[in-house]
Amino acid sequence: MRFTQLFLLAAPALAASDTATATATTEAADCTATATAGFFDLRPDTALAPGDGVKKSARTADYHANGWDYRHNFTMNICGAVVKPVEDVVGVDEEEWRHVGAYYTSDGGDVFSIGSESKLLHTRGRKLVLQYTNGSPCGPSSRRRRSIHDGAMYGDYSDDEDAPAPSAANLDADDDQRRAGAEEEKEKEKDKKEVRRKSATISFLCDHDPADVHATVNFVGTDPDECAYFFDVRSQHACLSAEPHQPGSVGPGGVFALLLSIALVVYFAGGVFYQRTVAHARGWRQLPNHTLWHGIWTAISDFAIIGASSCARLLPGRQGYSRLSRSPTSGWRNREDENRLIDQLDEEWDD
């Protein structure tokens, strides 16, 4: 029995390890995140372009946020590119315009991207965060303008034979000009590599108000270089919920069924082994607690017989003595026959 007890203790650990392995190999869906206390699913908050296959309850317009003291208003989508396409985005390649997830328009009509779309949610403690990156250029490097080296000097020479030979001072000036040009090229290459781009960090808050069907976006602020923008979004889908069953993973019901099956197999196998080897039992007595199982089987059989008998009494043609003919003559004959039969049975019992 020690072996059986050890196996019973080890079975839950084995089942838990199998469940963890199956969960780890299952990839999370886009715009979803799993936290310690629950599951987040923001896919209903994604605005979709109107068309075939789009539900009537789905949002088909971009989200808008008032910039207040920032002078510009913002347009964005959650876990996707903006529904209304944008063009001529400052500092962004043309093939990336269709991936812009958030932007604003300046007073001059220039479109500035504050991040490309992303469907990867992050959980930081009890916070749910979505980040858009790789927007339009920003920071001091994007506004830097350089002039030609002030110390550069150019000689004005003629082609006649009386042209003076270059002096040592002119040669030094030419060397300084070449060095300045080389340094400027290096600075340009460095600026290209170190270009900072705008980004947007979106923090989600749980909204328990059932009247708010769609999410609401609010602008929080930006850094002094106008590179990082911060928003908070209130949504009922940002509340913790139970994680749905994923194909390829084991759900809570599967884990319970697996543990129950292992426990039953160990119980019967260990009990039969013990009864056969230690108690030298044979037949049905090899089952553990066979008297208990025999009593349960007997009770089930009795209830089955009682139910079958009750159902048989309700069937037509099985009324017994309660079924009598409507004819008075036949009724009297039946009663006389019944009385003679009863008297005959009584005589037999007396003998």
Confidence category of residue 149, pLDDT binned at 50, 70, 90? very low
Q: What is the pLDDT of residues 215-268, one digit of tens each?
A: 999 999 999 999 999 999 999 989 888 766 555 556 677 788 888 899 989 888
Structure tokens at 167: 């002096």
Residue 340 pLDDT more than 90? no
- Rounded CA-CA distance 30/233 in Å is 18
The residue among 273, 263, 124, 279 whose CA lies nearest residue 202 is 124
pLDDT of residue 171: 55
| Choice among 45-49, 125-129, 336-340 with the minimum mean pLDDT | 336-340
Confidence category of residue 212, pLDDT binned at 50, 70, 90? confident
Residue 203 pLDDT more than 90? yes
- Rounded CA-CA distance 13/24 in Å is 16
Structure tokens at 20: 């963890």
Other beta carbons within 10 Å of 162: 5
Domain 29-136+198-245 matching CATH 3.40.190.10: the answer reads no
Q: What is the pLDDT of residues 277-290, one digit of tens each?
A: 887 778 777 778 87
pLDDT of residue 331: 53
Q: What is the pTM of this model?
A: 0.54
Q: What whole-number percentage of the chain has pLDDT above 90?
A: 32
Average pLDDT, rounded, for the chain: 77
Residue 302 pLDDT more than 70? yes
Domain ranges of the chain: 1-26+252-283, 29-136+198-245, 148-194, 284-350
Strand partners, 199: 228
